[in-house]
A and B are shown apart, each in its own frame.
Chain A
Amino acid sequence: MWEYAPAPEARETARLRSSYGMFIDGEFSESSAESLKTVNPATEEVLAEVAVAAPADVDRAVAAARTAYERTWGPMPGAERAKYLFRIARLVQERSRELAVLESLDNGKPIRESRDVDVPLAAAHFFYHAGWADKLAYAVPGRPDPTPLGVAGQVIPWNFPLLMAAWKLAPALAAGNTCVLKPAETTPLTALVLAEICQQADLPPGVVNVLPGAGETGAAVVGHPGVDKVAFTGSTEVGRQIQRTLAGTGRRLTLELGGKAANVVLEDAPMDQAVEGIVNGIFFNQGHVCCAGSRLLVQESVYDDLLGRLKRRLATLRLGDPLDKNTDIGAINSAGQLARIRELSASGDAEGAQRWSPPCPLPDRGFWFPPTLFTGVSQAHRIAREEIFGPVLSVLTFRTPAEAVEKANNTPYGLSAGVWTEKGSRVLWLAQRLRAGVVWANTFNRFDPAAPFGGYKESGFGREGGRHGLEAYLDA
């Protein structure tokens, strides 16, 4: 028996402080009202106290962003803005270990992912958009002179705290907007370190403001009359509320919401890689991924073979301490999310699907859920229709490609989909018919700053990344 010895990343690397202020007009300040405690979901210990932004703080931040937009950032030549963005990108790289460890502490995701995915991609987004800052005349075809929108109010989720901050800030800043960013209640820390990095990069005061808080703070940001553009990533339910708030105001809005992606495996798929893609699709980041491949659609002729391979592979997943470099599955981000995963999984049992998990001891403290798959799932089951946002895979079958398309599209969501086949023409045939913003062929959960990302139907509208993402921050 070869047991890998524990290989934990040093916690001190995170340079965790006992309290964090909010970042307004280039300075950190204490809360005028209350504070929140952010918790390590792997241990339930309190990591730090974080200032909560009250409505008065939101006013201050929006005013600072307005001033910066009108006096410094808006009029600044693109080539100058680019220098700041390049500087931020390099600082993210320089402080990558600190950011990765802090992200894993605050979010619960394995260090392997924060180190190899979240932080490098966050830096890549700043690099990519830095390059656009002085080339905006070429960003939108036929619009040689686009202008920024003004102040952007941005609300981001807890699943990729730093990466989502980068997705929101980088294009907005490159286009010449200023930002008021609200990180998620349970994961505010890396966004605040990113604010510190903005300070370190000498970004002019007010260009980026970071306001921690819960739903009320978010509502105050998106509903603020001084905000010209709202960008939200999160649940479909909150997305609807925001759309109602903004209806008729003329303010711009992009929404990136939930998903229930189909991962379609055809009989001629590269099976071993498909198994990896399925695992990566649903167990990456504990399934806390809006574009997660949560519905596996398998062609019946290869169902037994694929399921056997998949189960064997799940048995090798290593669940535990997020800071251990060999951990594959970390902690569920919060007690609330864990309760939701449990409730939906219980509905799977109750509605007649068969639950399976590999032998997987869970730590005594913290929020944990084992990698789980349900077989015998039908389109009617809640676990096939509702977003679980956890490490739970629903397995369904189909007989023909046409049936796969029909089942894959039979959802109110439309964010992403995956296709596995060695036949190129079949990839294209399916990709044309799958109603999803992103279709991955023979891969899954692959991101690049140059590739637009976003959904339709109840998964939202607007794109992030690439030229399409830039357009959302330009008046063109």
Chain B
Amino acid sequence: MTTHAAAPGLGTYADVVRDNAALRQFLHGLPGVDQVGAEGRAAALATRSIKKDAKIWALETAIRMVDLTTLEGADTHGKVRNLAAKARRPDPADPGCPAVAAVCVYPDLVSTAVEALAGSGVGVAAVATAFPSGRASRSVKLADVAEAVAAGATEIDMVIDRGAFLSGRYLDVYDEIAAVRQVTGRAHLKVILETGELATLDNTRRASWLALLAGGDFIKTSTGKVSPAATPPVALVMLEAVRDYADATGEPRGVKLAGGIRTSKEAVRYLVLVNEVAGERWLTPELFRFGASSLLNDLLMQRAKERTGVYTGPDYVTVD
């Protein structure tokens, strides 16, 4: 039984999703990743020294790339409304401060976020497909997505079935992503690989390609619920994947890093990775995002420091 359909624009790759054997052959035929070398390259790029104008530009760009996130069991409508206010105007003291890219919430809170962000241009992302484990039936996952979209989500962050991936059922993973793609409509689809559970960089590369082939607009590192989450070597490999995919198909797709990125210093280092691995073209919120919560305030403090020359401190930025 073949339930899958080749994603539009698959072109030369249409044949590799013919069956699981073909898909496996393709994914395992991708060049390997030497872990020591990848870590070395990421570490070398981390020594770039970003100062003055280059730093201000990086901080403002990073603010515009933030998916301001709250994913807790204790989330409430009030918490989401506060977050939305913060997303619109991250620095109330400075109207020149850009808004963030999106607010990221659980599906049941989408409508609250949509309402609070109306007219702001800030997107609403929903984590769906039985986030974070993804351990539910296909129909439940699709219903989860459909409800979020119906509630007005402009972006869907889905999780892949890591169990299926690790047991070699690549086509099942592909089919599921493609099925979600059918339901998202005009909403952007971000595919969470949960690289911390995939364990190897080879798997990160294969899962990245799998998600891109299945039609993901973005590939995303992690749910934020598993450690390790986003790391520089993982980001490096995913950026190489979107770069190579764009080379092969002409279509640029995005990368989202999530989990554990808390400081401006880390964010700027990741932007250096984006710049020097994927290329300058990816330095835009359309193609690169940070899923984060506490990162935003550090970006705001560093931005204020660069502009005014003085550190303010945590009491001078709003908690949400």
Task: Give A contacts to B, CB under 8 Å.
Answer: 1-7, 112, 116, 268-273, 276-277, 316, 325-326, 422, 442-443
Across the interface, do A325 and B37 meet the contact criterion of CB distance under 8 Å? no
Report chain A residues within 8 Å CB of B41.
272-273, 276
Across the interface, do B37 and A443 meet the contact criterion of CB distance under 8 Å? yes
Decide: A272 near B31, CB < 8 A? Known: A2-B54, A316-B276, A443-B36: yes
Q: In the complex the two chains form, what is the Cα distance from A277 to B51 in whole Å? A: 28
Report chain B residues within 8 Å CB of A442.
34, 36-37
Decide: A2 near B34, CB < 8 A? Known: A7-B49, A7-B51, A272-B240: no
Across the interface, do A271 and B48 meet the contact criterion of CB distance under 8 Å? no
The 8 closest A-B pairs by CB, nearest first: A273-B37, A7-B49, A270-B34, A325-B49, A271-B31, A273-B34, A422-B32, A5-B52
What are 17 A-B pairs with beta-carbon distances under 8 A?
A: A2-B280, A4-B48, A4-B54, A268-B31, A270-B33, A272-B31, A272-B33, A273-B34, A276-B40, A316-B276, A325-B47, A325-B48, A325-B49, A326-B49, A422-B32, A442-B34, A443-B36
Report chain B residues within 8 Å CB of A271.
31
Across the interface, do B49 and A276 meet the contact criterion of CB distance under 8 Å? no
Q: In the complex the two chains form, what is the Cα distance from A2 to B38 in whole Å? A: 24
Q: Nearest Cβ in chain B — how far from A371, in angstroms?
A: 15
Across the interface, do A273 and B38 meet the contact criterion of CB distance under 8 Å? yes
Across the interface, do A277 and B37 meet the contact criterion of CB distance under 8 Å? yes
Tell me, yes or no, whether B58 is within 8 Å of chain A by CB. yes
Residues 259-287 of chain B, each 1 if its beta carbon lies under 8 Å from chain A, else 0: 00000000000010001100010010000
Task: Give B contacts to A, CB under 8 Å.
Answer: 31-34, 36-38, 40-41, 47-55, 57-58, 61, 240, 271, 275-276, 280, 283
Q: Nearest Cβ in chain B — how far from A251, in angstroms?
A: 41
Across the interface, do B53 and A5 meet the contact criterion of CB distance under 8 Å? yes
Across the interface, do A270 and B37 meet the contact criterion of CB distance under 8 Å? yes
Report chain B residues within 8 Å CB of A326.
48-49
Across the interface, do A268 and B54 meet the contact criterion of CB distance under 8 Å? no
Q: In the complex the two chains form, what is the Cα distance from A316 to B243 in whole Å? A: 14
14 further A-B contacts with Cβ under 8 Å, apart from A2-B61, A272-B33, are A1-B280, A4-B48, A4-B51, A5-B51, A5-B55, A270-B33, A271-B31, A272-B37, A273-B37, A325-B47, A422-B32, A442-B36, A442-B37, A443-B40
A to B contact number (C-beta, < 8 Å)? 67
Across the interface, do B51 and A276 meet the contact criterion of CB distance under 8 Å? no
Q: Nearest Cβ in chain A — how far from B242, in angstroms?
A: 13
Report chain A residues within 8 Å CB of B38.
272-273
Main secondary structure of the interface of A (DSSP, over half): loop
Decide: A2 near B275, CB < 8 A? Known: A7-B51, A268-B32: yes
Q: Nearest Cβ in chain B — how far from A176, in angstroms?
A: 37
Report chain A residues within 8 Å CB of B53.
3, 5
Report chain A residues within 8 Å CB of B48.
4, 325-326
Report chain B residues within 8 Å CB of A277.
37
Q: Which of B37, B48, B54 has the most CB of A within 10 A?
A: B37
Q: Nearest Cβ in chain A — how far from B170, in angstroms?
A: 20
Report chain A residues within 8 Å CB of B52.
5
Q: Nearest Cβ in chain B — how far from A283, in angstroms?
A: 13
Q: Nearest Cβ in chain B — how far from A170, in angstroms?
A: 26
Q: In the complex the two chains form, what is the Cα distance from A273 to B277 in whole Å? A: 12
Q: In the complex the two chains form, what is the Cα distance from A142 to B94 in whole Å? A: 76
Across the interface, do B54 and A3 meet the contact criterion of CB distance under 8 Å? yes
Q: Nearest Cβ in chain A — how far from B208, in angstroms?
A: 13
Q: In the complex the two chains form, what is the Cα distance from A171 to B34 in whole Å? A: 34
Report chain A residues within 8 Å CB of B40.
276, 443
Pick the contact of A2: B32, B51, B58 (CB < 8 A): B58
Q: Which residue of A lies closest to B271 (CB)?
A: A2
Report chain A residues within 8 Å CB of B33.
270, 272-273
Q: Nearest Cβ in chain B — how far from A265, in angstroms?
A: 11
Decide: A4 near B50, CB < 8 A? Known: A272-B240, A276-B37, A316-B276: yes
Q: In the complex the two chains form, what is the Cα distance from A299 to B10 in whole Å? A: 29
Report chain B residues within 8 Å CB of A2.
54, 57-58, 61, 271, 275, 280, 283
